[in-house]
Structure 1
Amino acid sequence: MRPLSLSMSAFGPFASTQTLDFTALGTNPLFLINGPTGAGKTTLLDGICFALYGKTTGNEREGSQMRCDMADDSLLTEVTFSFQLGSNSYRIRRVPEQERVKKSGDGSTVQKPEAQLYKIDADGNESLLVASKVSEATAEIEALTGLDVEQFRQVMVLPQGKFRELLMADSKARELIFSQLFQTHIYRRIEDTLKNKAADISALVKAQRSRRDGILQSAGLASDDELSNELAKLTPELALAQSAKEQALQQQQLIIKASDAAQHLLAEFAQFDTLTQTAAALEAQQESIVAQTHKLNLANQAQRLAPMVEVFLAREQEAKAANLAFSHAQTALTQAKQAFDDAELKAQDLPVLEASLLEQEQAKQQLNALGPQLRELDRLNKTLEQEQAQLVRAKAQLQNSKNELTAATQKRRELESALPPLQANSDTRLSLQQAHQQQQQLLSTYQQWQQVAARVSSTKEKLAEAKAQGQQLNAEHQQAQVAHKALLLTWHQGQAAILARQLQQDEPCPVCGSQTHPQPAQSQEPLPSDEALQLAQDTETTAQEVLSKARAEYRGLDAQFKILQQQSQDLVAQLGTAVDISQDQHAHTLSQYAFSLTQAEQAHQDLQQLQQEIVLLHAQETHLQQKLEQGQTHDSALQSKVDLLQGQLAHIQQSVPPALATLEALTAAITQNQQQISQIKQQIADVRALQQQTGQTFVAAKAALNGAENTAEAALAQQTRAQQQLNQQLVAAGFTDQQALFAAMLDEDQLHALASEIEAYQQRSALTKAQCEQLALKLKDKVPPDSIKIAAELESAQQALHAAEQAWQLLHTRTVLLTQTQTQLSIADTKAKALDDEYAVIGTLADVANGKTGNKISLQRFVLSVLLDDVLLEASHRLHLMSKGRYRLLRKEDRAKGNKASGLELEVEDAYTSKVRPVATLSGGESFMAALSMALGLSDVVQAYAGGIKLDTLFIDEGFGSLDQDSLELAIRTLMDLQSSGRMIGVISHVSEMKEQINTRIDINKTSHGSEMTIVLP
């Protein structure tokens, strides 16, 4: 960051507006900020720091306390600072809280704090980044510079009396500053990533162990040894159970085989009993079979006579049919004679029918002649109906148009009368919107104030606790300091006593050189050991560090408390009198505004809709008026057309008979005429056809009667011959008559079934007899076995087998479960080993990266330690020159005690004593040289590393007065050498040698009406 200009109004000792153009000092200037005490030299740095962060360099005064008492009441206290970052420039304006005169009226009011931040690109175009909120401006500045106010004070400004802070910072504080300057956050992310990864793997390891324990528990086991022991015990038990199961199975199979043989023998005895019973039953059926055999013989005789019976029956049927046909022929002849006589009678009416036909033909010609006239008449009627219908519709439409016009006019007038109240409600919409937004903002501010007030209260309590703790730690530090000094005094006194005991008379003292020793030093206290001295020093150092940390935390809490107080005051100022109103009342007011606004919005929408409807109604009225005029014209034209058609119809109707005045009537008459003609023609044809047909039928009936008579006589003769032949065969076959023959006859199926039944009986009798003889021979000398005993033996064998199988199954199931458990445990152990191996790598990396091993140095702190070594190399080069070769700055590599962060503390190497000691042991002037060297070295290294923050400006406030003449000249020479490195360096000092050697100055003159700034160039 490079300053461009600074403007301060009523700020500090500057009563008026003072503007400082840093570009007028030249390129990369080394300049002196010169002036008497109280003139405002440090205020210049306060103005820069306040503009950027809203805090002063010493953090001893708030912005609201920087108001100049000599300033005019009308002049507002404000600071505007312009600076350059890279190719862009920025301008920030900050106004602290203050009393100011009202813009109108008498009295004063509270000016709320505000800040504006602008970005100015290379072309001079401005863009507003922050409009008014001071917190947003501070956050934006921290993002742009990469530094907060504390870091800015340590690396870009060495405030008066505070230059030792950068030098004395512990590892944690220096890590925070350096990580911002060198942008090493990626290493912190690596630390966090490794830490999270290690934690994830550790969680997986624990989960895997839990799963392994779960596997054992699911098998009812407590350990791997128990698993192995149980498996070893189960193996022989399972083998014995397997052997017992196989023996039981063999015994069961033997008994089953014996049972099968016994069952087979029992079945043979049962079969013999069944066959004996069957043979007896067959013997009982013998008489029935003899009768069936006689029946079969008669049926066979009847079957041989069946053809002759069929011939006789056929001849009998033929004779009956011939007699019936002769009777029918006689009846048909009588009917044909009657029909022929009737047809001859009807033929006498043919002349009358032919005359009627001629009359209907003439009427047909007359009807056809009326067709064209009636079609024209029909056309005119239809046209007249259409025109009359159009006329009716036109009159109805005309009346509708009149009604619509009247309704539209009436509705428009009603809507116009509703406009004024809606317009009045709509006019309040904008004012209600503004009031609603203001009330929303007020409620939001009120809620924010309540939250900030709660944080103020809690922070205040923490401050009180921190203050009490600080007092206790201060007392502990003083106690440790007193104890350390007392021990040192005792040690020095003891050393003097030791030297005194070594003095010899007339020999020079190694301390003062005197050869006389009138009063040698004595000590009654025991000499403290080096360990006791170191322990006392460590105790004091630890107490100092704890106290410093507590003070830093207290300052942080105090700064936070002041920020919260400022925020609370800002919010109270924004709320004004509204702060005394409850949140519920604010919310109620907001809801009332919302309700009123909703009504106004609805009224506005209704008004717009009503206005649109009125416009549409105006257009509708115009359209309806035009439509009405067109309808009237159309109505007149239709009426004229209807009158013309009615005249044409009257003329045609005079020449048409009334009964045939329509096409429908004519068509019906023509149809009726045609039907009558067709009927007469059909009647004539029917009479002639009937006359011819009945004559032919009568002749055919005579011939048929003669044929039927001859056929009947021949059929009777054949029937007589067939009956004589059949009677002769019946007697020969043993049948008394035809009835006996018919009773003995069976059809083919019955005959076949009867023969099969007799044959089956004979075969079954023979087979049953043979089987009985065979089984009787086979079962000779054998007795039936005891089936109950065999069943009991089989049941016992099955129970024994079931018990053996159950015993084996229990052992087998447990063995399988344990084997599976062993496999699962092996898999789980493999996974656990893989996780352990992974954790051995990732966990170790995480521990190393997060500083949990060795010297407790994290990855980022290790990287920063390398960068710090570079900084110390540059700083030591300058300190070596300014201290005339005595001091060099070193990084303390010893691990800090306890869990305290280490790796970034500083030590100083003293060439005079060849010892390394803490930087806290440097004197005031030496500390200033070391801090100055540190700041310059830090600036050099940060500039050299790409991606770091640009530290091309350094302000030094006092400190040179503590240097001797030689050290001062060396310090000035060092600062002058920096001009060639492209940095701007501003120095505040009362030392006259500084004024003599630095020609470029900013002189601040102190007057009775306020201080003024002047640039002095060589």
Structure 2
Amino acid sequence: MRLHRLELTAFGPYPRSETIDFDELGADGLFLLHGDTGAGKTTLLDAVAYALFGAVPGARGEVKRLRCDAAAPELGTEVVVELTIGGQRLRVHRRPEYERPKRRGEGTTKSPAKASLTWIGGPPSGQPAEGLTRIDEVGRTIQRLLGMSAEQFFQVVLLPQGEFARFLRADTAEREQLLERLFDTGRFAEVEQWFRDRRTERGRQLETRRQAARELLARLAQAAGMELPEEVSADWLGDTEEAVDTALSVAREAEAQARAERERADAELAARQERAERVRRLRQAHAELARFAAEAEARELRSTELVAARAAAPVVTAHAQLDRLAQQRSAAAERESAAVSTVEQRVGAADRPAEPARVAELREVAGQLRETAGELSALVAEAEQQERDQTRAHELSELDTTLRERLNAFDDRLAALPARRTELREQLDAAAEAEARLDAAGVKVEELTEQHRAAQELPELAEAVRAAEDQARLAIDEHQRARDRSQELRASRLDGMAAELAADLTAGEPCTVCGSSEHPRPAEPSLLVVSEANEREAEQDERAAADRRERAGQAVHEAQSRQQQMLERAAGQQAEQLRGLLVEAKAELDRLSELAKARTELASALRSVEEEIEARTERRAAVERELAGTRAELDTLHRTMRERAERLAVARGDHPDVAARRAYLLAGAESYDVLAEARAALEEAVRRAAEQRRAVETEATEAGFPGVSEALAAAREPARLAELERELHAAQLAEAAARAVLAEPELADLDPAQDVDIEAARERHTRCRELAESTVAALRAAERRATEVTALAERLRAEWRALEPAEAEFAELSALTDVVNGRGQNARKMSLRSYVLAARLEEVAVAANGRLRRMSRGRYSFVHSDAAGARGTRGGLGLDVLDDYTGKVRPAKTLSGGESFLASLALALGLADVVAAETGGALLDTLFIDEGFGTLDADALDVVLDTLDELRAGGRVVGLVSHVEELRQRIPVRLRVRKARDGSTVELIKG
């Protein structure tokens, strides 16, 4: 990850817009952000953190107050950062939530938080070209590209003020929480949780089985009727079963004896009850005969009453018929009177003849009225047609008005359509012309886009050319130095060649140069001895420098060629100018595209207008023809209606219309018909009533009664008749039954006065029955108890056998769970997660020791401890320091301020290396360290700067944030933060 540019507006203490070019700041790989305490240096790192993750590190992130109080109300708070992650350049824009003044009225309103991510140079695979605008999507994408969370980023890239030293001084629990945030130990926590859940589940299952066994034992004791001892064993279970079997045998013997006694009591009670029943029947028969003799006179009176009532029954029937006929005569008289009233109401005096008396005369008058009504039938039809013609005339009048309005509407619309047709033809011509110019406009946009892209690359290419030229000059200088050194070594070797040959001389042997065997003064070597190997090494260095010089020259040539190519593409125009031309060209292309797209719609609209003109012309002609036919039909209809109205006026007379007069005549005829029918019915009812009265008198005389009233007095209701018959018949049956009982042979030897003792037999029978029932119940209970105890005992033994392996398995699982979770037999009290974190901490200590020993001049090194904590607390995350001066290991909290800073910095850098490797070895090109340098002396500061200087290897940029003046003297200040005297505003000053 490499930062390129940071823009912040109204953020923290900065009231205006500020821009930081990290490419310029990090040109040397190490830069200092300098300023007084409280000037706002840390805020710049907060802005980077907020842009990437939407949060700021440390305690400042808990306040969530990011807007500058001194900013202008109309100026929005926002942060923009441009960076490269994994070769992908992108731009992140964030706005926090803050209160702003309302645009209308007084007070403030909340401006919502926003975030966007824009890809520079094209999106990666699977990402939308337009970028991302949702806050959660932006956060997830940044975290995925970086390969680390916000906590890891703050510990690896942004070492915040006062935060990275916390890891050194943290206790075991706090260090564990921090390591869990930095390293993904979730899968090991899941393993621990899996064991705990497994133990809980198995424990629940085992407890369920234990409870089942306890319930079986309780049920068995309850079934056996015994108390549970404190310790239950198999012997107790066997004794219980034996006791239940013994009780069952005793119950069976008692039940057999009680059953025999009950059978003897049953036989004796049955014999006595049978004799008592025969005595009772004999006594009842004698009583029935005595009562029959006493009621003889009453039975004679009831028999006489029954004979008279049966003789009077025909007279009663005939008299009832006479009553019905009298009622019919009264009803007929009422109907006749009502019919007379109806005639008087419906027929006027002028049309009503003299009052007729006979039925034939009434029917004759009704016929005359009906005949007159028949003559008016034809005129009624004409009256109905007159109403229909009036309705039709009204409809034709409305249709005439509607058709005239439609003609006017057609004329108005037809007058406006030619102008619309002309307008559409002009627009269609313009669209066709735009379509013809579209290709040329597109080519122009492409050319301007290519020129603009080339113009944008020119500054970067110019920088690349300058860098390549600088590298070429350095390569030339390096080659020249290597060449000079090679020549110097060659000359030195030639100068010292005599000494080299003299070194091979041996006394008494000839010289290889002069051949003399005497060597009076051999040459002595000089202080600088150059061997052949030294000369050959210098020649190789010269050739390597020459190669680098050639490659640097080639790089300059390539950079200049690329620059020239982009200059030619840009055609000598600036990027801003080309941007304006490109915007205009795109706008023109969009305008032509819109016009060209509308061509098809315009052509369709033109055809629609022409078709509408033709259709409306035809429809107007049809309306004119329909209007002429309507007016002709209306004139004919008016003439016919006038002639018919004259005939109908004569026919209706004084009535509203002909139909009303015809209805009047028909109603009168119907009234006379009803009156004739009612009068005829009345005459018939009078005749039938007289005949029935004579028939009643005849029936009474024939039944033997002096008159009708005596016969009606002797009559009885059907229920009374049935009652008399039933009483007489019952008395006869009772007498016959009593005499039959007395005639039975089995009662011949009995005395009605005899007394049979049943109560003593019944009491003995009850006692035997109750005893038998109780013994049967006891036997059934004993059998159920034995069956239930046997079944429960078998189930209990099976449950005990199944519990043994389950208990052993749970004990093993529980012990293993305690070990995994740092308890039980785990001597170091380290959970599995703590064990993994301890391994990571050990890696961190190894990675940090190199830097700590170098910065402390070999005095200090980290020592990782996996011992258990005090009073049995968890261990494995101890971190102490070994002091080589004393050879003792002591807590890190005993270090001085400067030593703590060195140790914290070394630990933070080691932690950064391990976290980077853990997240996939992501290349972290930018690192920030905020404050802490003020605790170091000059020598320690030199060592720290040398260590930080090593971090620049491979192109990494290290930014220091400090107010220490000595750092200002050692590192070029690229950016200075200054606060106004009143403390209200902050500004950035580039060095």
What TM-score, normalized to structure 1?
Answer: 0.42
The structure having more radius of gyration, on CA atoms, is 1
